Amino acid sequence: MATFQPSLECDNISNTHSEQTDSDLIQKADERYRETLPNLPKGKGWMTQHLVQYQGFWVNPDAALKNLMWIQDHFKPRPTDIFLASFPKSGTTWLKALIFAIVNRTRYGFADHPLLTTGPHDCFPFLYAHLYEKDRSRFDLDGFPSPRLLSSHIPYTSLPNSMTDSQSYRFIYICRDPKDVLVSTWLFMNKLRPKELAPLSLEEAFELFCQGISPYGPFWDHVLGYWIASLETPEKILFLKYEELKKESFVIVKSLGEFLGYPFSLEEESKGVVEEIVKLCSFEKLSNLEVNRTSVQKFSKGARVDNRHFFREGKVGDWKNYLTAEMVQRLDEITYHNLLPSGLLFPT
């Protein structure tokens, strides 16, 4: 399969650093990482043996921490960048497809669209999947055309000032009922957990999640960071709920177009363009494509994930098939306690 490559026909910006400079930057990043790692608190890992707490959030001590520190020190955003932020397993893959289709709708036809042959994570890459590559074996972000579509799970408070101070960047944040997030994360991580580590039981995952010890957790702090920022700068951050996107896909796709600066014209609406985008990016359509059933997604540091693992159920309320009444009550109470003062609520 030929992998989709972003076109370099516009804004083709060459690297501003020489190979020697790149080597120096990588060396400095390695040194800061080695100095920082031993002093970080440890917690039980979901996919790896341990997570470490960095700036109040739990991350994988290898690739995730290294890439986060690299972004904080060296990433240079462009004013036209569009960022998708999320807590893991909150609808990221689906929203990537929708935003990519919205922004590029005049460039590709629906019959031969890149999303039909390329996974959403290649069309709309994770920011940290490409920055820390010594051999530059992945896409070079400097060569991406504008607007660059980049996603991350990085908490808002851990983003560099270069990404949060400017009013020109656009962030879309998607969140989801924490009960569904917990179940989806547990199932996903166990599929990727090395064979030398025993599977993580649902009871263990539940306790860790309630304590805030999960990839990029605590969940509530992650969500609140973007929620509060969206209230303060609504023109910069669009805050979405997965449940509302499922219920009102047509309305929210139109809102996304408006927010991103790609509003749908009356002619496009009359021709059913919005409906075509919703259909193209539906769970049923994407999950049954060959690229998403049989191909492998490559990330930084040699990480590989079967694309099919990103398409499990896509349902709202699947937690009912896994969590006990006691688990539900406890998790709802924690969520209520943490989010109610901010005015952010999920259905119970």
Question: Is 245 within 8 Å of 252 (Cβ atoms)?
Answer: yes
Catalytic (active site) residue 153: yes
Give kind and range of the element (H or E) at residue 316: none
Residue 322: which residues within 8 A CB-CB, separation 6 or more? 183, 202
Backbone angles phi, psi at 5, to 5 degrees: -120, 130
Q: Work out whether strand 57-59 and strand 82-86 pair parallel, antiparallel, or are unpaired.
A: unpaired
Residue 16: which residues within 8 A CB-CB, separation 6 or more? 142
Q: Which residue is it, tokens 């060296």?
A: 74
Tokens of 177: 């009922």
Q: How far apart are CA 175 and CA 226, in angstroms?
A: 10
Pick the closest to residue 145 from 243, 282, 7 (CA basis): 7
Give kind and range of the element (H or E) at residue 310: none
Strands (E), the chain: 42-44, 50-54, 57-59, 82-86, 149-152, 170-175, 237-241, 296-298, 304-306
CB atoms within 10 A of CB 215: 21
Residues pairing with 57 in the sheet: 54
Q: Which residue is it, tokens 């363009």?
A: 273
The residue annotated as part of the active site, out of 153, 222, 309, 337, is 153
Pick the closest to residue 120 from 317, 305, 302 (CA basis): 305
Helix then strand then coil, in percent of the chain rounded to 5, is 50, 10, 40
Q: How far apart are CA 54 and CA 70, in angstroms?
A: 14
Q: Is omega for the bond preceding 61 within 30 degrees of 0, making it cis?
A: no
Q: Which residue is it, tokens 């896409």?
A: 139
For the annotated catalytic residues, the residue numbers are 153
